[in-house]
Amino acid sequence: MRRTPVGRQTRARGIPEATVARLPLYLRALTALSERSVPTVSSEELAAAAGVNSAKLRKDFSYLGSYGTRGVGYDVEYLVYQISRELGLTQDWPVVIVGIGNLGHALANYGGFASRGFRVAALLDADPAVVGSSAAGLPVRHMDELESIVESQQVSIGVITTPPGAAQQVCDRLVEAGVTSILNFAPTVLTVPDGVDVRKVDLSIELQILAFHEQRKAGEEPESGRGEESVLDRAPGPVRAAAAKLRRAAGGAKDAKDGKAESGKAEAAKGQGAKAQGARAEQPRGESERSAVMPA
């Protein structure tokens, strides 16, 4: 099902996802320049302000069209408008926020929304104790009103800030009512029909990624054996098979779970405390590491 190329390249429909994800960064940087009444900006300057490299920025802009002037740079105002239009921010997007806990409150108050064409059409919650209170100057309404609000206000974007257990159900109702884009803050994988977009923001995942890199920093100085396979996994077939079997045999789930981080080297590593900035927090992982931490 290839699209028919129009000229050299089809272009018409396809702005790469990676580029789309950076457009808001450019837009923010440009808006700041605009507020300072800066008339033009070079790819080099703008890239620095947006935190990307200039080749990437120019490539990104090339997907939108030729909006710059060689030898001069880009007209700030013109570019603000073009990017806004490309992102769909020149129209008004009513949004519902479902789940008005701390995070829902934070979002309702978030300044970056209104300034970008997003308008909070309603705040919804299932808890009668919360319904009727107000956040960011808007009343919190009951979930029962979800369908009527989405329909009457033509809401196409929903934000889910409920507890994880409620997220899928809320999602289903939103979709059923006509919402086709969902921003999900609940730590749940949502299932949606084709044609519905879901984006996920997960606070804990971001921290986990940081922890991964932080851990690497700690043991970094020499080319330590960190991350190397164990001998078992490099061994010829039968040995590996035996090792795997052993691992599987090791635990009737629950038992193994409780003991998982509390035996052998794992315990030792844990006891050494966090951080250890610039110092080796754990001994370089040795050959028998992997088997040593197996549930006993």
Binding site listing for NAD(+): 99-104
For residue 236, give the amino acid letter: P
**Which of positions 195-254 make contact with DNA (CB under 7 A)?**
237-238, 240-241, 244-245
**Which of positions 183-222 make contact with a copy of itself (CB under 8 A)?**
183, 187, 189, 195, 197, 199, 201-215, 217
> In whole angstroms, how close is the CB of 88 to DNA at the nearest point?
19
| Binding-site residue ranges | 99-104
Which residues does 65 contact at the CB level (< 8 Å), separation at least 6? 82
CA distance 111 to 134: 17
Of 136, 133, 135, 131, give the one whose Cα is nearest residue 146: 131
What residue spans of 54-202 are helical by DSSP H? 54-64, 76-87, 102-109, 111-114, 146-152, 164-177
List the single partner that 140 binds among DNA, a copy of itself, none, CB under 5 to 8 Å by kind: none
> In whole angstroms, how close is the CB of 257 to DNA at the nearest point?
20
* Residue of 45, 86, 145, 147 interacting with a copy of itself (CB under 8 A): 86
Of 19, 20, 9, 48, give the one whose Cα is nearest residue 32: 48
112 near a copy of itself (CB under 8 A): yes
* Residue of 7, 51, 71, 222 interacting with DNA (CB under 7 A): 71
Of 183, 33, 20, 28, give the one whose Cα is nearest residue 115: 28
Which of the stretches 13-21, 144-152, 155-163, 256-264 binds DNA when contact is defined by CB under 7 A? 13-21
> In whole angstroms, how close is the CB of 281 to DNA at the nearest point?
26
List the single partner that 167 binds among a copy of itself, DNA, none, CB under 5 to 8 Å by kind: none
Q: Write the binding mask 158 to 177 for a copy of itself: x where contact by CB under 8 A, - elsewhere.
A: -x------------------
Residue 181, beta-bridge partner list: 157, 197
> In whole angstroms, how close is the CB of 182 to a copy of itself at the nearest point?
8
66 near DNA (CB under 7 A): yes
Which of the stretches 123-131, 141-149, 152-160, 166-174 binds a copy of itself when contact is defined by CB under 8 A? 152-160
Chain centre distance of CA 77: 29
Tokens of 67: 């909006």
> In whole angstroms, how close is the CB of 137 to DNA at the nearest point?
39
Contact 265, 292 (CB under 8 A): yes
List the single partner that 286 binds among DNA, a copy of itself, none, CB under 5 to 8 Å by kind: none
CA distance 250 to 267: 18
Q: What DSSP designation does 204 have?
A: H
